[in-house]
Structure 1
Amino acid sequence: MEQPIYYSKAEYIETDTGNKVSRRATIAGPQNIILGGKTVISSGAIIRGDLRRTNPGHAVVISLGRYCLVGENCVMRPPYKTYRGNFNYYPMKIGDHVHIGANTVVEAAIIGNHVEIGKNCVIGKFTTIKDCAKIADNTIVPPNTVIPALSLFAGSPGRFMEDLPESTQEIVEAHTKTYYTRFQPFDPRER
């Protein structure tokens, strides 16, 4: 059995659906951010749900599926572009069992299920990452890139390196569920 990863009870808020959100994370515009449940948002992470389309009242939604792990100091903001003179933000949809490493900036449009994104990455605007793909640490993915399912991308700019095994889905799912299970509250007064 792997060792628990302890966190201070005072630092994390646990929601009814089992999301664990650090009080040191910045969740801007929480009404526009949907967490599927059992998602961990680490210290220093910034999720920008407060950015709007040009037409007032049209908030942009960022949705994360179940068992997503958002690493320390990640920045997640919706992709944007200027179209016919209007500056617009667009929704960001992230599937289930997605692990985003520390210090990564994400402006993707769609991230599928069972995706691993390494540390110190930049995921460009409107990128689509298909199911079971992996982005290596320190990779810069240019805007509008489509990363195929079961592929490993690495480098700057990120390029296809190799196909991933069919077992990637099970491996990533086991990793995110195990991490969530190991992520335990610790209260120093309980010693």
Structure 2
Amino acid sequence: MSTGAIILPYRDRLPRIAADAFIAPGAVVIGDVEIGPGTSVWFGCVIRGDVSPIRIGARTNIQDGTVVHVATADGPSHIGDDVTIGHMALIHACTLADRSFVGMKACVMDRAVVESDAMVAAGALLTPGKRVPAGQLWAGSPARFVRTLTDDEHEHHRKLCEGYVSLGVEYRANVLLDAGSAL
């Protein structure tokens, strides 16, 4: 974890964050939240597990300005391993399975499921209860099936996840320490 992030308890539940996760300065993590190893939460993100839990797996990247929230007691958010969530996305009381991808400014709503190796395109609105099957790309508002993802796109996503893990390591080791010593 890093300095400068706001980590707050809610109803006596303190977020549990893997020692090697990167939480950027200005990110806010509240309540019943678990963040797995190698995961990065970037600048300006809000992850608020107040009325239900949020579980985030390993090596996932949640990019700048994203909000992850929950609904009432039956509305948790589950985000798997190796997931990419683009800048300024809204993730609300839904499930993003391992290796799924949510594009920039997309909105994934209550009880929606994005299966493994599936993608919600940038700017898409995945309405409540919808399910994006494994390997499919959905786009639009409301989002609907566009096509099957290619092997090249799956490989690109894998490399993107690896790149964000490396970037998080670099920020933890160098950038934040350099900024702190400059003050």
* Fold agreement, TM-score > 0.5: yes
- The separation in 1 between residues aligned to 2:39 and 2:139, in whole angstroms, is 26
Instruction: Number of aligned residue pairs: give it.
Output: 164
Q: Does 1:49 align with 2:49?
A: yes
Whether contact under 8 Å (1:110, 1:127) holds in the other structure is: yes
* Aligned partner (choices 56, 61, 80) of residue 64 of structure 1: 56
Q: Deviations over 1:76-119 (max 9, x none)?
A: 11134xxxxxxx44222111011111111111432111111111
Q: Deviations over 1:10-32 (max 9, x none)?
A: 6569x653100023011111xx1
- The separation in 1 between residues aligned to 2:77 and 2:114, in whole angstroms, is 12
Helix, strand or coil at the partner of 1:37: coil
TM-score (ref. length: structure 1): 0.77
Whether contact under 8 Å (1:150, 1:168) holds in the other structure is: no
Instruction: State the partner residue of 2:12.
Output: none
> Gaps (5+ residues) in structure 2?
7-16
Whether contact under 8 Å (2:59, 2:83) holds in the other structure is: yes
Q: Deviations over 1:129-182 (max 9, x none)?
A: 100001111101111101100000101110100011356554423221122213
* Aligned partner (choices 84, 100, 105) of residue 115 of structure 1: 100
Helix, strand or coil at the partner of 1:49: strand
* Aligned partner (choices 95, 104, 111) of residue 80 of structure 2: 95
Helix, strand or coil at the partner of 1:180: helix
Write 1 or 2 for the structure with the bigger share of helix: 2
Whether contact under 8 Å (2:23, 2:42) holds in the other structure is: yes
- The separation in 2 between residues aligned to 1:173 and 1:101, in whole angstroms, is 14
RMSD, matched Cα: 2.2
Task: Evaluate the alpha carbon distance shift between residue 182 and residue 72 of structure 1 in structure 2; reply closer, same or farther with a 3 A threshold.
Answer: closer
Instruction: State the partner residue of 1:130.
Output: 115
Instruction: State the partner residue of 1:6.
Output: none
